[in-house]
Structure 1
């Protein structure tokens, strides 16, 4: 053992009693470590061992809260001295924040020096043995630098230090960085927020016991650690205060700890910090005994509120009571976490161990893909993906087709634009001699229709591009969902889907081009709305003229137009004939646009539905694999899925073992 442990805690207490008898003063209440060990070892140690096993197994990652003593305090409040005195070891000290990562300090008593051990764990380092207590400080500093760097940064990744030695109190505590508001050189500007968030993470659970370290020199109500603990424990029912540095400010301490102005529900324990003049922890405890027995301002404090031995007993008792009360809740939390993990595992694909299993899984996935695509593409059923609007296929197509119809209507002739009337009049003049003067030239009509078709050709082709691009996204998305665990199979299906959709797109573009060619070549309609539209326009214009209206509004297609009669509707001559031709073109364009607005979307929907629901399924069954060996390759699972399944199984195994441990402890 190290020099620091030459006198064990048992020896130090014996020395305290010797000093008190020689000094002829009222001694601090006798502390019998042997009796303490015997009374708690058989009852509490097994429970603490179970909780320590739960911690090491990472059970807290499953939102299972384990009773823990959390040591908090403002910077330089004496936290490290308190822990050193309880553990009988030396912890890192220094200017600014000495503790930069959470230190989980697990103290465990044993019967002899031969059973003593010191182990440290952090991140990927497991059960690193520390040979001597003299090496603890250096080991913690090295581990802290590994986790948080060699500067002044902090990090919420714990170091676990397990110390087993004779007469150590059976305690598990978490030491956290001291609270500071002003960053020193090398610390981040938000150091206060980082420390605060770390402290809140540990003290917020109701199972946490808050050990609030308060220096005697300050007004307790001004301590930031008090303010933080009161945010989660307003009545102080799980807060115990340790008053340090009592030798530096003994005046008025009795009133401060008895008035309890800051609501410390578990009470106060006053201690003397170890100083550089103290050669060992045992010497420090003897001088603590002398201080509380001899000092006139301190000797009146109740003996149950002073000394490190009292603090050790109080903590062991508080921890044991908290643990006993929390076991049923811990069991319920573990059970809930286990059920959740089992549910997650049920959603992870199982491993495939044979060709027959591969075939069965392949066929099941094929059916799932077909059913989902049928629901989405043909039936417009989004119940499988209610929140994923990208897969609401029929709704998105309807939006595209509605916009397409509107775009067609906007591309027609404008009755309100005189310039278009002048253009038609000019075409008339160029076609003189083709027909009798009182006939409207059919060649002009044909030329104007071709011009209308040319103006909408790009709109029609762009519609095919947009809809097929979206349809491909939907199919690939569905395939990615179904074949998530099988990347080779997913890629094969993606390739087939893109191939067959491109083929269908080509034939659909050909259909659209053929429709436009028919419209460009043949002027034809039996739709009565052609003559109705012409009559409606002429009637509105004539009525406006008789009533001397200068302005009228007309509905032709989806657009409502306003006309200034004298400019838009000539009364006689070539301009009048041009106007009449314009009206006929507008009426015919309305029918032509309605025809295209129905036929092209209908063809697109039919072609896509037939391709996705029928042809794609046939091709994937025919071309998916050609041999059992190829199927085996296709059905290889994603490494992430395999890793996830392994990790989930490990968590399930851990939770099952943890549940058995806790349930057995409750039943004992």
Structure 2
């Protein structure tokens, strides 16, 4: 390790050193599994010379036996301090590991005095991770998602942190299966996808650069090339005469261009490695190589050649990168801490005693009451619970949903409430709604279902129906008159769809209410056990509310099944309007016939009584009064007027007396502090008793919250 002191002068301030330590500490604590941390990552094909590049950057002589240090990500942290060299090795378990496995891996900690001991320590780490090829058990995975962290503090000559990733496998082989290929690609993708990763893409000069997997991946995850550095290796192995092509790439003038550019390195040959070439000798040999022909004639940037230039550049780049990203990291940590605090708050304090359980349930009930009351009042501004979404009306905004649903129901009653609907416009004189010929039963009756469907008919058929009912309800009244039974039977038949539409509306609103309550329960607690039991308890209360609502609806419908009754002046006004309209049409028809037949199409009447009497006589003989038709016409006008009054009253009564009174008004009371106070000890244990999973989850959240606080304190 003696070479490292002269590898690079100390370029880092105490502040940059503190930032690097804080990031490394956060990664060791597993924070990188939750937020993106700034880092340098080394990627490349297995044959690109990546290990040699990493060794020359860090000065650490990594073992070169197959299967070592390439089976998992390795973070190398170099801290330049005026102190004796200390080297520590630890495992950072992946978040997908079980708590038991995490605990076992976190216990792995080694302190070594020399890098000569590193191969044995790496083998032990691979065994601890359960990687095939290290442990005696050959059934484990070939690659691990856990990370090995190597920290070297002392007179290193540079302050740097870099993550080495397993080499990318292009095709499966006898030793590396398709699953191994996929595992490596997934691991590399995960690190490259991090927007705060600076990608050190190691590419072999002799291969087609654009088609190398690491380049394709960098274009995928760093499309603009703003966070990728190209490192070109093995220029000594290319065919003679192709140096200009590699130089073009190194100058960043080829088709593959990167904002951070390329560096050109010449690593030691296998023969030199076997002879034990030192760092200084390797650097000198590299310098001589690029100073010789034909490389000296390629117009290369001297600052972009050799490992010393690369190392110095990386130190400055990483320092600036971390400085730039630090405010974002701090904010991400704060957001994650707040999210964790919210989860802890949802779980509440540990509940060991009945008193703890009662306090917990009372707090939930108070929040349930507050949210429900706000939702019913339409006060959506105070809680995250009511936050707007891309949906037209979020399911949490209960009052808005009720309004929209009631309006839809009211419109449906207006357009499709009648049992019989007249096609065309012939019924407009009586105040009935009509539909056009293009409207079919399915369009008008979309929400009514197969039972009690609406019937579309012509004006003639509608009049025939009224005539049939008139004949069936005749009593002792004189011709031209009708009794109260006639109007009642017309109305009862005409409004027979109301109950069906009302039940549909009530069921739909109950579903909306059920979704709202589910959203409230999920918002209040993240404990599945508590949510499940609370859901059952509240569902029972909601069913009782629904039953009461159905009883109230039955009472309303029973009232509608009685003799028609109203004191609304709208009824008499509409009857008078209908009569006037019928009389006007009859008079117009008589006048048209009189004008056509008796006056040859033109009428001129003087102001004398004889002409007037003659004209009236002509009109009179053409006004034919059918007494039964007269009675039916009068009843029809009464039906149209009363139907509108009764329909509007029924809609209002359903919304107020059924929905508001029985489904909405008592909603906050289905789970209230008063109910919690009345719970027995056994009920509290059933509802609020903590499962083993919940206890472990709270402890895990509390530990994680403490880790986040420590990370925030460590950030400079």
- Structure 2-normalised TM-score? 0.65
For 1:411, which of 416, 419, 425 is the aligned residue? 419
* Structure 1 residue aligned with 2:553: 509
1:297 aligns with one of 293, 298, 307: 293
Contact 1:408 1:597 in 2 (8 A): no
1:594 aligns with 2:565: no
For these two proteins, the number of residue pairs brought into alignment is 600
* Deviation of 1:443 (Å): 4.3
Separation in structure 2 between the aligned mates of residue 463 and residue 47 of structure 1, nearest angstrom: 61
Structure 1 Cα separation of the partners of residues 526 and 93 of structure 2: 35
Q: 1:76 aligns with which of 47, 51, 57?
A: 47
Per-residue CA deviation, residues 100-137 of structure 1 (Å, 9 max, x unaligned), is: 76443557899999977765555343465797627858
In the TM superposition, what is the alpha-carbon distance from 1:515 to its structure 2 partner?
1.4
- CA drift of 1:622 comes to 4.7
Shift of 1:71: 1.9
The alpha-carbon deviation at position 65 of structure 1 amounts to 3.0
Which of 51, 54, 75 is residue 104 of structure 1 equivalent to?
Answer: 75
Give the whole-Å Cα distance in 1 for the aligned partners of 2:590 and 2:274: 119
Task: Note if contact 2:51-2:62 (Cα within 8 Å) is conserved in structure 1.
Answer: no
CA, structure 1 residues 604+108, in 2 after alignment: closer, same or farther (shift >3 Å)? Answer: same
**What does residue 331 of structure 2 align with?**
336
CA contact (8 A) 1:293 1:299 kept: no
**Equivalent pair of 2:201/2:228 in contact (CA under 8 Å):** no
Q: Structure 2 matches for 1:238-249, cutoff 5 A?
A: 239=229, 241-249=231-239
Taking the aligned partners of 1:188 and 1:573, their CA distance within structure 2 comes to 96
Pick one of 211, 225, 234 that aligns with 2:200: 211
| Alignment correspondent of 2:397 | 391
Secondary structure at the aligned position of 2:203 is classed as strand
Tell me the equivalent position of 2:661.
607
Deviations 1:259-311 (A, max 9, x none): 7144776763432454389646549997996687589637859998899xx62
The DSSP-based 3-state class of the residue aligned with 1:76 is coil
Inter-CA distance 355–254: structure 2 relative to 1 (3 Å threshold): same
RMSD (Å), alpha carbons: 5.5
Is 2:147 the partner of 1:159?
A: yes
SS, match of residue 454 in structure 1: coil
Query: Match of 2:548, SS?
Result: helix
Hey, what does 1:275 align to over in structure 2? 270
Helix, strand or coil for the counterpart of 1:447?
helix
CA shift in 2, pair 1:406/1:247, >3 Å: same
1:423 lines up with 2:422 in the alignment: no
Note the alpha carbon deviations across 1:20-78, whole angstroms, 9 max, x for none: xxxxxxxxxxxx54545996999898876554333212333454533x33223456332
* 1:77 match: secondary structure: coil
The runs of 5 or more residues in structure 1 that have no matched partner are: 1-8, 11-31, 550-568, 664-668
User: 2:551 aligns to what SS in structure 1?
Assistant: helix
**2:165 matches 1:186:** no
Range that drifts further, 220-229 or 530-539: 220-229
The answer as to 2:217 corresponding to 1:173 is no
Tell me, yes or no, if the aligned pair for 1:50 and 1:662 is still in contact at 8 Å.
yes
Distance 1:626 1:461, change over 3 A: closer
**C-alpha distance in 2, partners of 1:188/1:539?**
92
Give CA deviations for 1:143-197 in whole Å, capped at 9, x if unaligned.
Answer: 66699xx99x998935325386999886543234656888888379999996884
Partner SS for 1:512: helix
| 1:351 Cα offset (Å) | 0.7
5 Å-filtered alignment, 1:63-142, equals: 63=35, 65-66=37-38, 68-73=39-44, 76-83=47-54, 87-91=60-64, 102-105=73-76, 121-123=92-94, 124=102, 125-126=105-106, 128=108, 133=119, 136=122
Question: What is the CA distance between 1:380 and its match in structure 2?
Answer: 3.3
Distance in 2 (alpha carbons) for counterparts of 1:107 and 1:504: 73
Describe the shift of the 1:573–1:507 C-alpha distance in structure 2 as closer, same or farther (beyond 3 A): closer
| Structure 1 pair 370–157 and aligned structure 2 pair: CA distance change class (3 A) | same
Question: Structure 1 residue 501: deviation in Å?
Answer: 0.5
> Are the equivalent residues in 2 in contact too, given 1:487–1:637 (CA < 8 A)?
no
Would the alpha carbon gap of residues 541 and 376 (structure 1) be closer, same or farther in structure 2, given more than 3 Å must change? farther
Structure 1 71/375 Cα, relative in aligned 2: closer, same or farther at 3 Å?
closer
Residues 319 and 412 of structure 1: CA distance in aligned 2, closer, same or farther (over 3 Å): same
Q: 1:189 to 1:233 in 2, by over 3 A?
A: closer
Q: Is the 8 A contact 2:86 2:152 kept in 1?
A: yes
CA contact (8 A) 2:233 2:265 kept: yes
The change in CA–CA distance for 1:408 and 1:524 in structure 2 (over 3 A counts) is farther
Q: Distance in 2 between matches of 1:114 and 1:413?
A: 94
- Change in Cα spacing, 1:89 to 1:303, as seen in structure 2 (3 Å) is farther
Which is worse superposed, 138-147 or 469-478? 138-147
State the 1:528 CA deviation. Answer: 1.7
Checking the alignment, whether the CA contact within 8 Å between 2:74 and 2:164 is kept in structure 1 is yes
Partner residue, 2:30: 58
Distance 1:275 1:120, change over 3 A: farther
Write the deviation string for residues 517-561 of structure 1: whole angstroms up to 9, x where unpaired. 3247x6987632342243244145325524759xxxxxxxxxxxx
Paired with 1:53 and 1:614, the residues of 2 have a C-alpha distance of 47
Q: Say whether the 8 Å CA contact 1:425–1:577 is kept in structure 2.
A: no
Tell me the alpha carbon deviations over residues 340-362 of structure 1, each in whole angstroms, 9 at most, x when there is no partner: 24433553424156766665555
Matching residue of 1:621: 674
| Alpha-carbon distance in 1 for matches of 2:226, 2:520 | 55
Moved more, 234-243 or 317-326: 234-243
Distance 1:115 1:633, change over 3 A: same
Which residue number corresponds to residue 703 of structure 2? 650
Q: Determine helix, strand or coil for the equivalent of 2:236.
A: coil
Task: Indicate the SS of the match to 1:436.
Answer: coil
| Closer/same/farther in 2, CA of residues 304 and 481 from structure 1, 3 Å limit | closer
Q: Which of 626, 636, 639 is equivalent to 1:582?
A: 636
Which residue pairs with 1:375 in the alignment? 374
Instruction: Answer whether contact 1:271 1:306 (CA < 8 A) is retained.
Output: no
Change (3 A) 1:491 1:620: farther
In structure 1, C-alpha distance between the alignment counterparts of 2:208 and 2:511, rounded to whole Å: 70
Taking a change above 3 Å as real, the CA distance of residues 286 and 127 of structure 1, as seen in their structure-2 partners, is farther
